[in-house]
Structure 1
Amino acid sequence: MAFLCSLIAGATAFPGSAQEAPSPTPRPLDNGLPPASPIVDQLLQRLSLEAKVGQIMVVAFSGDTPTSDVLGLIDSQRVGGVILFQDNVGRGSPERVRSMTDSLQSRACAPQGGQGSDPGVPLLIAVDQEGGPVVRVGEAATLFPGAMALGASGSESLVMRSASAVARELRSLGINVNLGPVVDVNSNPQNPVIGTRSFGADPAMVGRLATAAIRGQQRAGVLAIAKHWPGHGDADVDSHLALPLLAHSRSRLDMVESPPFRAAVEAGVAGIMTAHLDVPVLTTGESANMPVSLSPKALAELRTLVGEDRLIVSDDLEMGAIVQRFGTAGSALRAFSGGSDLLLFRRDAVQARRAHSEIVAAVRKGSVPMARLDASVRRVLRAKDAVGLLSDVPADMDVPESPEIVASDVAQQAITLIQDGQMLPLRSADHPRICVVQPRLREIAGQEIVVPVTGPATLADAVRALHPAIQVVEVGLDPPRPERLAASECARSAGLVIVGTYNTGMFASQPILLDALRLADVPIIVVALRLPYDFSVVGEIDAFVTGYSMRPASLQAVARTIFGVSGAAPTGSLPVPLGKSYPVGYQYPTPDAWLFPQP
């Protein structure tokens, strides 16, 4: 019987309860996956063909309670993992989330059938807790800024602290895989899906910080999966919707996209996630427009990079980039037969069961060798063993930091001042009233994952904490003329305006809003709430500052910097270029006003 299964044997208790189940003890993973214990091969030999195929599948469900569909996939298909999304764990206490993950593990640990049945095998439980715009766990964990904020800090030690803090919180919730870090190089300012999820535009810097993130996360006992190979940073199409084309040469890939993935492997990453991209140089000789995620040739190249013991993980197999041509079940069979070890499904249980049946049939017919399946299942079981799901192993003994303190440090060290016409920091006494113009939160929810927060949810909330006399005008991301006029009147009435922009280059009316504010003839301070590229389109203003994130810690850090609170100097540097005058690494000279802040 698996180690975790023998511990929880039907328990569904959560931490702090009288019947709390012992937590699995992770191995120290900061130097990569350790050698597998004998239980890996012992367990592999006991699994039926159907259970082996189940082990390479990771499935999902809707709502805050496991559905009959997902429980059926655990019971009947013996799936190897569950991936959680914001509707599962965005709300609720740590106790509730841990109760859910314990109940899922208990279900997976129940053997099926009678004598000689498949043994219970504990689950990989995964999330995308990247920070910034992509988070799944809300109220039960600390919300961190994203990778680009860390890139602006340039600090490997801060990245390692952040990754460790996030991982420890996840591990306490029963989550043992965080699908990150994102190691894509964001070389395209118009990229619709990566942006601030990336550390930045410099391959060496991305690789250096990815190394720190992987080591910090895995040292804390949570598997890291670097993504999205071979690199999604120059895409101009969202692969959730359609298949992006990257018509790069081999030399370009070697110079820009590939270095961070090589660094991830050298750092001991547990696995690499593929992207649904058309990269012809990697699929030469195969059918046209073949996604690398389904390409035997491309996946063989990735296997050479990662070696025999690490996981190759598919991206979501229900994404538009592949399902329109191959379907979910067909994509799953292609991804697996091509070389992937773990197949991610979203919420379509019918397609997940169909994929399971098709892979079982392919192995039975011999079109996919049993040895190929065994190799993937062995990697999956080895990953489970590494996080203490199969055998008792020594734990990392580092003393954990307060995650709230770490998140605050990340947010503050990220703050980047790009322009200042001697406006900042503000002295409250000089500005008795301030107008704050900001996008509506419900419209932000269509652009990034919004979960319940502790602390300020908006820019105005953060400003009000330091300067109560504010007027607030909320506008759409593409504000119509009446909203622009209301914002201009607010600015004129107050005498100074702080305006929050959000991905301005994607919304034609945001620059027009700034034109309307300039007509008010008052000082304008722009805060880019996500992408720093907003600077390129805002026009003439008095100051521009960004924290690369709308998470509470970032909003607080922006407000502290604007008002010159002690310790809040804008020390971040640009992780992406904003034209020739503002290259990667640009840092505004810190004015003396921040060195000698007002009380």
Structure 2
Amino acid sequence: MKLEEKIGQLFFVGAYYDKNGKIDEKTIDLVENKKVGGIVFFKGGPIQQAKATNKLQALSKVPLLVSMDGEWGVSMRLDSTFAYPWNMTMGAVKDNKLIEQAGYRIGVHSRRIGIHLNYAPVVDINSNPKNPIIGNRSFGEEKENVTIKASSFYKGMKRAGIFGSAKHFPGHGDSSQDSHKTLPTIEFSKERIYDTEAYPYKTLVQQGIESIMVAHLNIPSLEISPRTVPSSLSRNVVSNMLKNQMGYHGLILTDALNMIGATNFGASGEVDLTAFMAGNDVLLMSRDVQKGIDEIKQAYLKKKISRKRLAYSVKKVLKAKYKAGLNDYKPIVMENLYEDLNAKEDSLLYRKLLENAITVVKLEDSILPIHSLKDQKIGYLSMGKGKGSFFLNILKNYTSIKEISPNQSTEDIKREIADLTTVIVGVHIPNTSPWRSYQFTKNDIKKLNLLTNEKHVIIDVFSNPYILSDLDLEKFSGVVVSYQNSKTSQEKSAQIIFGALVAKGQLPVSINRTYKQGHSILTQNLNRLQYTSPEEVGIAAEKLHKIDSITLDAIEKKMMPGCQILISKKGKIFYNKTFGYHTYKQQKKVKKTDLYDLASLTKILGTLPIIIHLTDTKVIHLDSKLKSLIPELRGTNKENINILELLSHYAQLQAWIPFYKETLNKYHKPSKHFYKKKPSKRFKVEVSNNLYLKSHYNKTIFKAIADSELLKKKMYKYSDIGYYILKKYIEDYYHKSLEDINEPFFRALGANHTMYNPHSKIDLKNIPPTEEDNYYRYSTVKGYVHDAGAAMQGGVGGHAGLFSNANDVAKIMQLYLKSGSYGGHRYFSQTTFDKFNTCYFCEKGVRRGLGFDKPQLENQEGPTCGCLSMKSFGHSGFTGTYAWADPEEDLIYIFLSNRTYPSSENNDLLKHNIRTLIQEYAYEAIHSSNLQPLKTY
């Protein structure tokens, strides 16, 4: 090499390109003519940067060492790429293997985009809460934790073949100033700096980290010169401390020399020379490369710089290039670049990191996780400039949440929270930058004081933990730190609050004297349903595309207007989608919160839990006969039917009785003798809008049941009649309506969207219509039960009447799947549940359990795909609903639709087995090959 070329290798310069990928002419000149050793990329996009890298490498005589700041991934500089958590967030993670994995994946991304050197990890120990430039970029305030996290991160990058660069030596963590804007002063003693700030570097030096970046700091205790010298330009810091005393022989880089912390020291070129003379090998982001080359050249010619000294640094740069594989350079492959920089493995690891980071700082009176939902009335108040919609939506998945408007006076807030027991405050600071301000306003603190004086308050901060130092935490019942305001962080944190996940994180920094670094509270797992991605249960998302396709096809072919589909495995809901519209007019899309008429799912979701409980408490027995339970059936042909036979549909009961037909006139319209358009004492059973049945007609219905003929022989016959009978018994026993008995049960589960007669309780726009009734009620059935018999009982039948959404149905099915346990509470014993999930008359050709449907027997058609275990159980409903659970696979599948709209004669959904085909595709996805191995480059 010529002398100028050797000197050029010392300079790493900014590489700039526009939105079209056109490279700045100055960058081209520096690479092509000044023969610089490396380039540093900043803001841009992956495609443009890849093209720019390929072009610049082609122009360079000696291949360039390409570098970038990728502290939380290449997304620190590049759009459309994957962002890992900030260091402060990862500092809260106890499992250091996860940190290593993050370093590895960041390394994989770096190699894919042509980066050889990542200016990471940051090893600054952030012991100053007011640090304006480090903060979230630090793993924390404790040297051991910072060291192990940085070491794990670096191990991962190294395994991926990427060079690391520990920064900012000897330590920028305890500064209240930004070296981009000034020269910060560090007042600590030499002993403190060696013992604390420099502590992580000792480990990384032993690990062989490829480079260390020296910061621009004024450290009087380390500087022998009477003049203020930035540490990056100080021979005492760079050569004596780092090289000689700490024994580091890797690449030493300055921090960017165009920062104010360096530029104030001297003129362009002069700063570069001083930095080199101090012992640095790489001069990063010189203000004027040509002047820098000239200054170093003149010093060399004047023998101020020896040939050996220059060769020492140049060889280190060239050796790094050789180790990076640049002796066999290959251009970046453009194909699948976006996909490779946003892989499923990254999303999965990110979710694990956030789940492991979230920290419960305080809980009082066991408020976290929230146990009993039956007596809770919970509100949510959002603070901060960030959005908290993901957090709120997941909270609402567990129970009813009252959203409190933040843009109102404290007096209005006081009135709004009057009926609440608990308020969850989400403090949402935008996730766009780790440097964003996070202080509470005076008005915020005033509102928080009001809330804590009135109610139990759980505060959850999606921000740096230091934000809590402004608050009196003793006023709060629960305190959670979720670190970042990402979608994943919000979703995971909400699940921790309700006990679906446990809090595992530790404070990486101290909030006050009580809640110090390392503080951690492990919360209880209540085994409520989790909300997650397919990858978190080991399923590649594309394996589920067949479900999407068949559902969309069924809607297009008008088998149904729309539907909700939910699938969970091991208590994790990984597929929860809505399709289509309320009607074929396509005016209102189906939402997850919409309520469908469950039809016969009411049997196992509304009536059966009560019967199981009564059996569990020995109020009734499976051999209890109806005559002992219901006096009105004594002396009838049903008196000796027992519960076992009735629930197995092996009791010789008729399938159903069309009670409504007896109330129609000769024109097949509701008779004025039985119906009125307005309610009164004598006509108060509301069967539809403006149609009221005689108040005591229910007695006529039950008498018709009591008098009805039995089938001539014992045989399997699916029947609704048994559930009319069970409803009668339940209501007589409790002296309450079935609705009043069920309501606290649903509320305790958090199934607040499960109800009878939703037309009187929620907005009708959230209920898809079930049918255009032209045979009984002659109206649009919407929010009123579709089943005529249940309608004649005021919308509350033992066999039909419930409305719900897939999320709520899943909670009850999960209760069954776990044999009576959900949300930290046992509702009935496993022994009793097992009795109900048993086929007692299989040898008679009866596949059913007690109340539950079961998979088809051999050589029979049946209700499932035929691809699941015989231990599985569930039910289907006339309106196009389906709920099934499989203990062997620990799987739940829910399908809700209004296939009966506009006419129940449309039976195509059932004819084409759409529900069970979806079930089959779900099992196929679970059993097929899962995620591909991690890619390396």
TM range (shorter): 0.7 to 0.9
Identity of aligned residues (%): 28
Pick from 80, 102, 108 the counterpart of residue 37 of structure 2.
80
Return the offset for 1:376.
0.9
Aligned ranges 1:245-394 → 2 under 5 Å: 245-284=185-224, 286-300=225-239, 301-304=241-244, 307=247, 309-345=249-285, 351-391=288-328
Return the offset for 1:592.
4.9
Instruction: Give the corresponding residue for 2:114.
Output: 174
2-side partners of 1:257 and 1:122: how far apart?
35
Are 1:546 and 2:485 counterparts? Answer: no
Instruction: Give the corresponding residue for 1:513.
Output: 444
Q: Tell me the SS of whatever aligns to 1:373.
A: helix
Structure 1 residues 492-548: Cα deviation after superposition (integer angstroms, max 9, x where no partner)? 647645331659996665254132243354554433333212222123334322232
2-side partners of 1:465 and 1:592: how far apart?
17
* Shift in alpha-carbon separation, 1:490–1:58, aligned structure 2, 3 A: farther
Quick one: which amino acid aligns to residue 214 of structure 1? Y
* Shift in alpha-carbon separation, 1:563–1:51, aligned structure 2, 3 A: farther
* Shift in alpha-carbon separation, 1:201–1:363, aligned structure 2, 3 A: same
Instruction: Give the corresponding residue for 1:570.
Output: 503
In the superposition, the TM-score normalised over structure 1's length comes to 0.75
Instruction: Give the corresponding residue for 2:425.
Output: 498
Instruction: Give the corresponding residue for 1:409.
Output: 352
1-side partners of 2:435 and 2:329: how far apart?
51
Return the offset for 1:95.
4.1
Return the offset for 1:593.
3.8
Instruction: Give the corresponding residue for 2:393.
Output: 464
Q: Tell me the SS of whatever aligns to 1:333.
A: helix
Are 1:98 and 2:33 counterparts? Answer: no
Q: Tell me the SS of whatever aligns to 1:88.
A: coil
Does the Cα contact within 8 Å between 1:569 and 1:595 map onto a contact in 2? no
Quick one: which amino acid aligns to residue 348 of structure 2? I
Q: Tell me the SS of whatever aligns to 2:33.
A: helix
Pick from 65, 69, 72 the counterpart of residue 124 of structure 1.
65
* Shift in alpha-carbon separation, 1:596–1:230, aligned structure 2, 3 A: same
Does the Cα contact within 8 Å between 2:359 and 2:506 map onto a contact in 1? yes
Does the Cα contact within 8 Å between 1:505 and 1:534 map onto a contact in 2? no
Quick one: which amino acid aligns to residue 27 of structure 2? V
Quick one: which amino acid aligns to residue 469 of structure 2? S
Quick one: which amino acid aligns to residue 4 of structure 2? E
Higher relative contact order (CA 8 A, sep 6+): 1
Q: Tell me the SS of whatever aligns to 2:77.
A: coil
Return the offset for 1:554.
3.2
Does the Cα contact within 8 Å between 1:434 and 1:497 map onto a contact in 2? yes
Does the Cα contact within 8 Å between 2:439 and 2:467 map onto a contact in 1? no
Instruction: Give the corresponding residue for 1:10.
Output: none
Instruction: Give the corresponding residue for 2:6.
Output: 52
1-side partners of 2:427 and 2:521: how far apart?
20
Does the Cα contact within 8 Å between 2:7 and 2:297 map onto a contact in 1? yes
Are 1:223 and 2:158 counterparts? Answer: no
Quick one: which amino acid aligns to residue 151 of structure 1? G
Does the Cα contact within 8 Å between 1:132 and 1:550 map onto a contact in 2? no
Larger Rg belongs to:
2
Quick one: which amino acid aligns to residue 178 of structure 2? D
Does the Cα contact within 8 Å between 1:434 and 1:498 map onto a contact in 2? yes
Does the Cα contact within 8 Å between 1:497 and 1:524 map onto a contact in 2? yes
* Shift in alpha-carbon separation, 1:136–1:560, aligned structure 2, 3 A: farther
Pairs aligned (count): 498
- RMSD between aligned residues: 3.2
Stretch deviating more after TM superposition (401-410 or 382-391): 401-410
Does the Cα contact within 8 Å between 1:239 and 1:321 map onto a contact in 2? yes
Q: Tell me the SS of whatever aligns to 1:302.
A: helix
* Shift in alpha-carbon separation, 1:58–1:146, aligned structure 2, 3 A: same
Does the Cα contact within 8 Å between 2:378 and 2:424 map onto a contact in 1? no
Pick from 151, 172, 176 the counterpart of residue 232 of structure 1.
172
* Shift in alpha-carbon separation, 1:220–1:507, aligned structure 2, 3 A: closer
Quick one: which amino acid aligns to residue 375 of structure 1? Y
Does the Cα contact within 8 Å between 1:191 and 1:235 map onto a contact in 2? yes
2-side partners of 1:160 and 1:407: how far apart?
12
2-side partners of 1:192 and 1:324: how far apart?
20
Instruction: Give the corresponding residue for 1:588.
Output: 521
Return the offset for 1:329.
3.2
Quick one: which amino acid aligns to residue 467 of structure 1? K
Are 1:139 and 2:72 counterparts? Answer: no
Instruction: Give the corresponding residue for 1:530.
Output: 463
Return the offset for 1:287.
3.1
Consecutive unaligned residues in structure 2, runs of 5 or more:
331-342, 531-748, 750-810, 812-937
1-side partners of 2:186 and 2:59: how far apart?
43
Consecutive unaligned residues in structure 1, runs of 5 or more:
1-46, 109-119, 394-399, 441-457, 475-482
Q: Tell me the SS of whatever aligns to 1:353.
A: helix
Stretch deviating more after TM superposition (384-393 or 51-60): 384-393
* Shift in alpha-carbon separation, 1:306–1:556, aligned structure 2, 3 A: farther
2-side partners of 1:343 and 1:472: how far apart?
54
Structure 1 residues 457-488: Cα deviation after superposition (integer angstroms, max 9, x where no partner)? x43344335538785978xxxxxxxx6x4698
2-side partners of 1:561 and 1:584: how far apart?
21
Structure 1 residues 160-191: Cα deviation after superposition (integer angstroms, max 9, x where no partner)? 11100111011111111110111111122222
1-side partners of 2:267 and 2:489: how far apart?
40
Q: Tell me the SS of whatever aligns to 1:402.
A: helix
Are 1:165 and 2:97 counterparts? Answer: no
In the superposition, the TM-score normalised over structure 2's length comes to 0.49
Return the offset for 1:353.
2.9
Q: Tell me the SS of whatever aligns to 2:155.
A: helix
Return the offset for 1:107.
2.4
Stretch deviating more after TM superposition (423-432 or 122-131): 423-432
Q: Tell me the SS of whatever aligns to 1:239.
A: coil
Does the Cα contact within 8 Å between 2:89 and 2:139 map onto a contact in 1? yes
